[in-house]
Structure 1
Amino acid sequence: MKLEQRRHRPLRDKILISTYRNKCQSTVRKTDKMSGGGPEAAAVQVLTRAVQLDNEKKFAEALACYEQGIRLLLQAEKEVNDEGKRSHFRKKTKEYLSRAEAMKEAAAKQRTMGRTHKQIQVEAGATGYSYETIFGPLLDKTLSSVVVEDAYIRSTHQIYNFLHFCELLVLKAECLRSITLRTTRDPSGHGIQHERLSEIQQSLEKHSIKFTFIFSDTIHDREIRFDNGWIIKIGRGLDYFRKADGRFSLGWTEYHFRQCHQTTIDIFHQQSVE
């Protein structure tokens, strides 16, 4: 993306939000005519659109619709006398307020981080490059799906690394619903790789996360894609750590203390390549 285009992106985002606020208000007016002017019906219409935009990762637009929908819910609450219905409106308002806050953070992150391409050069023997350090800042409430393409999730330590990565996702991405791994089959043919990945699959199911693993012979790039827009390319994939000195040495369980192999990590957002 050209530098001039990047400079204008914050202005473009403001225009987008303003445009979608106007569209939401237009939707309200149309719904009013069809439903006799009830704010409840208008709120349903606008919030349905907000959720659709949310699912499409159009955070700035979704935020505008959430804000309009919340205002309509508050108005609807004031106009009803039934306490049960008022309680329902308050509950839904609280839920959508929480989601709107997440949208606000995500939209800000897209504006700030989406304009940069970050490259990290990891030197041989360096420490301090745990998965949490690299991936943690990219995990938020908008992340629901992760795709990992790595030809070498086969040996015991490589599968342990992948498990450690999954643990971080479960801890930090509270709305995560699916993880997909594309890797190559272990040439030994003993079935241990399949057995271990199946065990991870069963464990993730207990956290309501669907894990799918696919064996392919055509994988070339090592790439991790988050559906909140982040793409991470690591020269060595997830297998960039050296073996710990021993089972009772720092780095055995906490990867922050592990020495690394030399590699390059590229982190960018889909917006930065548009």
Structure 2
Amino acid sequence: MDTGHLVRVYDTLHFIEQHYHRLISIKELEQVSHYSYRNIQRIFKYTCGETIGAYQQRLKVENAYKMILYTRETLSSIALEVGFANVASFSKAFRQHFGMAPSEARERKLPLLARAEIVPLETEERLIPEIIYVPPVTVYYQSAFIDYNHAAVEELWEQLMAHQFTAPGTEFYGVVADEPLIRESLACRYDACASRQAEKGVLPSKTIPAGRYACFMHYGSYETIEETYGKIYAGWILETRLEFAPTPIIEKYIKHPDNTTAVEEQETAIWLPLQ
């Protein structure tokens, strides 16, 4: 698929992510994609592996599951917030996707964390975040469904950096759009992003949403970032009274191989979105 077609698909993906909780009209999809409704449906399914309707429904139930895990909102409030008319329709869709009722998902929260080997850490190992406010950030990106590991992420970054970013002050981000805990496989949607448009080729753009984030720092090679995530999920996140938003986790690459030669000097900020 050429770059122009891919940009249109990405624009459609981003639009659905922003408006998944409401009815999206045919006219809106045609305007954002610049295709007829029939064509964008066909191209979207070919590119993303599912229909637009299936993708929107999946966003609803997966974001609902995140809220079940990380907030204290009632199931009825969650159902309305993600776009279901009532708890009955929410429960039916949730059961079809996850094989259990939303109430069961809430009851299984601790067993789910335990199965992922997320168990409470000793006090001295726990990380304490800085609570920050982040303004909206426009980024230019490439996206993929990949195994969230160093090799797969590195390959996507190599593809992005081939477009060349030489503008001074360009910042780089990773957007982790899916929650690995609630997916049957470890394949997650990951976006490799730059804050400036590339010199070679035209990349699609999107906005990292403004809001409050819990900011944790990872020091050293990206290969070991899962160790930091483990400490976050097994420490502070189990005890905090703050509630998390269903928007993506953001990684900001402050010091990376392109601007430091020492592995021990590399720095990655991990932003967990807050309600």
TM category (shorter chain) comes to under 0.3
Q: TM-score, normalised by structure 2?
A: 0.25
- Could you say which structure has the higher helix fraction? 1
Q: TM-score, normalised by structure 1?
A: 0.25
- Could you say which structure has the higher strand fraction? 2
Larger radius of gyration: 1
